[in-house]
Every structure is written in C-alpha cells, then in structure tokens.
A and B are shown apart, each in its own frame.
Chain A
Amino acid sequence: MEDQTALLAELNASWFASGLEPETAMRLAGLARSYSAEPGQELFREGDPSELFGVVIRGRIALRTLVPERGPITILTIEPGDVFGWSTVVPPYRSTSSATAIEPLEAIVFDAAGIRAAMRSDCQLALALYPRIMVAVSRRLNATRLQLLDLFAAEQVKTW
C-alpha cells in the first residue's frame, strides 16, 4: 500500500501538480503510485498504447525515436519536475516516442485507465489537469522548434 501522504507531498512539490485545489490534489494522489526504474530500462515504446503517465522526481528519461539505418536517436531528455507520457491522456493514447531511463529514476505515475476515467467523470479534475498538460505539450513543442533551428550549426561557408 502506497503512502499517499508522502506521494501527495512529492506531487505538490512538482511543477505539474503545484497549486491544485486540495480536493483535486487528493483525488490525483489517489490515482498515483511510486515508480522507479534502472538506467537502461525502457519505460514505453513508440507506437505502443500509452499506459505510463507521470512526473519525474529524480533521474532523467531519454525520449528516443527510431530512425531506420541510424538506430534510436535521443531527441529530448526529461528533467526532474517534468511530465512524461502525456499521450496517455491525449487521444489516440499511443506513445509518440520511446522512453528509457538513463539515470536511476524515481517518478510518480498515474494509473492510465483510472486517470482517463477520472478526467471524463470529474470536471474539476479535468479542468485542473488539461491546462497543465497543454503547458507541458506546448513547452515540448517550443523546445522542439528551437532544436529545429539548429542555432549552433556551423554556417555553410563556400570558398568565400
């Protein structure tokens, strides 16, 4: 049995859950559990049904995508405080990349079916969580755009 109080404290300290109404936070903590993984352990795989949604407490996750003939490429790492597995709550509920722990990982994860059901039935919860998920996704999008700009690339210089 999880220690829900400890979980709640951890959650409240995270960016994702900070500032939630107490009842909503309790409801969320009720759906949460501790999760840990060893370095190298794969959390989920690109294209598979997305079942793992949570917040990194300690350690780092690499998001990778498979490029034929180049193997898995790390496109982003997830730092403590950030969420992972947001596709669990966004249709069609399939992972958009593969995730691997690259450091000893401690996280809080939510039961996928449970949170989807809760967000369908509990307007308060949905209203509190969806903006946070949107923020997480939009940050991811902005960071990706900046990466696309390849700002540090060497200028293509011709002979002159």
Chain B
Amino acid sequence: MQHGQVGAHPRVGVVKFASCDGCQLTILNLEDELLSVVEHFDIIDFPEATSARSAGPYDVLFVEGSVSEPAHLERIVELRKRCRTLVTIGACATAGGIQALRNWGDHDAFRASVYAHPEYIHTLAKSTPIADHVQVDAELRGCPIDPGQLVELLTALVTGRRPQLIDEAVCMECKRRGVVCVMVGKGIPCLGQVTQTGCGAICPRFGRGCYGCFGPREQANAAGLARYFEAVGDRTTEDVGRLFAGFTAYSEPFRSMVSDLGGTRWARGEGAVEAAPAGGGDARN
C-alpha cells in the first residue's frame, strides 16, 4: 500500500463506536511489538492511549464498535471521507456485536428495561456493523480481535502485501493443534465448523464449544449445522437458536438462523418470574 508522502509513516487513527474497548486494548496489549509499531506508524488519534488528538486525514483508521445511536450515522460517513484505508476491528464493528441482539427485540422495551427515564436515551433501534454504512477495506474479526492477526495486518500494511486472514473453519486450527473435537469427543455443541478461524481455536482448547465470536466463515453451512444440532443431542429449537445468538449473531447466515429458529423470544422474558423489587428496582420497569 502506498501512502501520501514518500518515506512518511502511515498516519493511524483508532476510534470507537458502541463497544467494550477490548479491541483497541488489544493494540496496547501488543507488549512485544508496541514500541516497534509506533516506529512504523504515526498514531495521530487514539483517545484511549493519548491526549494528542487529530481529526485526520488518516492513512489507516481502525474503527471499533457498532453503529448504535443517531450521531454515529453521520460520524462514520465523515470518518470514511477522512481515511484512505478503513479497518474495522472486532465483532461490534464487523457484525454489530452482542448489542445487536436487540435488533430482534422491541427497542423501547429494551430501553425501558434498563432505564427509569428511557425518554432521555438516544439509541438506534438496531446496532449495525460499520460495513452497513460505509465501504470497509479490511476487517479483523473476533470478540476481541486476535493479537496475532492484528500484527499480521500491521505487517501487511508496512510491507504492502495482502494480510493473511485466512477464511477457514476453526476446526482447521483445532486439528493442526491436535485438539480433540469437543463435538465428537464430548457431545458439546460447537460453532467452530461455521466460524472463521483466527482465534487459535481457544474454546475447544479450553474444553468448550466455539461460540462463534469470529463470525461466520464464507459459505458457512449454518443451516446444516443447526439441523444436526436439533437432530442429535436432545436440544430444543430454542437451544439451537441461542447457540447462534452470540457476539456475531447479526452476521449472515447466523442472523437467519436466529430468525428461523424463533428470534430472541426468550430474551423478552417469556416464562420469567416477576422482576425483583429490591436493589436497582427503580432502574427497571
């Protein structure tokens, strides 16, 4: 990739929308590389790390978080104009995040459920990925992103090659690492087969099923997997639906799975006991 000035370092910004900050923290968690990174990039805007501010233009802009409130709509368009390469980082920015579960629900009920005065809360009815609004040049998946993939992307930026963000199943990583399949070996439902790898197969390595935080891989046969989950292992349709209703639920084809399997009815507290009166009772309806 070429940049404005010959010999100049790429000017980098890191901004956030609705998110937990974990992905931008991953930048600061590159303990071994951080001081080398700042020698290859001019970090001109990164509020979590520096008080020095800039409004761009950026050669590379890392965007964390989902578009989730009215002001975000204009802000992302404006930021897109001010950067050459826009990289979304993490499940919120690439898939809408866990907060996108409200996209199936009743937004007003959501607000009222948490806030005593919902009329003061300004959020959009849906939490959506950045790519729903502007052109995205590259994306780092994951909740949070993987530090190795982040370094790979930075390296690709420096060397000008295509980042090797390989689109294959988590299973591939499991098998290479000699991790025993938790579905076959233990009967634990696992989304690894339909999820893009990059995490290093953490969940199966830790004895549990993948929960899809890197999002669906290309041509993910989520429907086939959902049928298998329902047919084997004594699971209800709702159980299967909740498997897909995770941190990347709003990405197709997981989104269709959640919808086809009944949406998020369970989140509306059907069958729930009455709300408790004590503690923060006044903060709920």
- Chain A in direct contact with chain B (Cβ < 8 angstroms): yes
Chain A positions near chain B (C-beta within 8 angstroms): 158-160
Q: A158 to B135, alpha carbons, bound, how many Å?
A: 11
The residues of B that contact A160 with a CB separation of less than 8 Å are 137-138, 156, 162-163
Residues of chain B from 83 to 126 with CB closer than 8 A to chain A in the complex:
84-85
In the complex, whether B283 has a CB less than 8 A from a CB of chain A is: no
Interchain nearest-CB distance for A105 vs B (Å): 50
B1 within 8 A of A: yes
Nearest CB of chain A from residue B122's CB, rounded to whole Å:
34
Roughly how many angstroms separate A119 CA and B162 CA in the complex, as a whole number? 63
- One digit per residue, 1 when the CB lies within 8 angstroms of any chain A CB and 0 when it does not, for chain B 1-31 equals 1000000000000000000000000000000
Q: How far is the CA of A160 from the CA of B138 in the complex (A)?
A: 8
Closest to B156 in A: A160
In the bound complex, residues from chain A placing their C-beta under 8 Å from that of B138 are 159-160
- B160-201 vs A, CB cutoff 8 Å, 1 = contact: the mask equals 001100000000000000000000000000000000000000
Q: Which residue of B lies closest to A160 (CB)?
A: B162
* Cα-based distance from A158 to B137 in the complex (angstroms): 7
Nearest chain B residue, comparing its CB with the CB of A158: B137
Nearest chain B CB to A37's CB is how many angstroms away? 51
Neighbouring A residues of B1 by C-beta, 8 Å = 159
List of 10 A-B pairs having minimum Cβ-Cβ separation, nearest first:
A159-B137, A160-B162, A159-B85, A160-B138, A158-B137, A159-B1, A160-B163, A159-B138, A160-B137, A160-B156
Interfacial chain B residues near A159, Cβ < 8 Å: 1, 84-85, 137-138
Shortest C-beta distance, B155 to chain A (Å), equals 12
Alpha-carbon distance between A159 and B1 when the two chains are bound, in angstroms: 7
Closest Cβ of chain A to B134, distance in Å, is 13
The smallest C-beta distance from A89 to any residue of chain B, in angstroms, reads 50
In the complex formed, the residue of A with least CB distance to B165 is A160
> Once the chains are docked, how many angstroms separate the CA of A159 from the CA of B61?
13
Q: A160 to chain B: closest CB distance in Å?
A: 4
